[in-house]
């Protein structure tokens, strides 16, 4: 079953690859459940989003509630994103990336 494919996540001969690494090899090495992300996919999508707003003054804020993995968050911080947090715990994790506090916004949970 093919859920979606991107430049970095695709099927070859009915086998799932993430950035040219077989998912089955990752499962053999790390076991399951296993979460695998494509850093290059995140970078590509961020740049497309950034470009969409290039003609206006803007700032992108990564919503930490969507994924609190520090490596994922740090990828967006390195690209220039701010971070949207909504709890003390999220603020703590955001600060662990080394981001300037001036690039953090606090939004209240609904």
**What is the pLDDT at residue 41?**
95
Count, residues in the chain: 110
User: φ and ψ at 36, to 5 degrees?
Assistant: -125, 130
- Residue 41 belongs to a domain: no
Residue 102 lies in a domain: yes
Strands 104-106 and 21-22: unpaired
Q: Is residue 14 situated within a structural domain?
A: no
Domain that holds residue 102: 56-106
98 falls within a domain: yes
Q: Which pLDDT belongs to residue 105?
A: 96
Tally of domains in the chain: 1
Alpha-carbon radius of gyration of the chain? 16
Q: CA-to-CA distance for 19 and 36, rounded, in angstroms? A: 10
Is 40 a domain residue?
no
User: What is the pTM (predicted TM-score) of this model?
Assistant: 0.86
Low-confidence ranges of the chain (pLDDT < 50): none
Contact 66/86 with Cβ under 8 angstroms? no
Q: What is the pLDDT of residue 2?
A: 60
């Amino acid at each position: 079953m093919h859920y979606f494919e991107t430049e970095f996540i695709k099927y070859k001969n009915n086998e799932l690859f993430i950035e040219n690494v077989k998912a089955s090899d990752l499962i053999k090495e790390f076991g399951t459940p296993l979460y695998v992300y494509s850093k290059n996919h995140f970078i590509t999508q961020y740049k497309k989003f950034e470009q969409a707003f290039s003609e206006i003054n803007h700032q992108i804020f990564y919503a930490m509630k969507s994924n609190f993995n520090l490596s994922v968050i740090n990828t967006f911080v390195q690209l220039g994103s701010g971070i949207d947090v909504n709890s003390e715990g999220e603020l703590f994790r955001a600060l662990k990336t080394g981001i300037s506090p001036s690039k953090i916004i606090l939004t209240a949970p609904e």
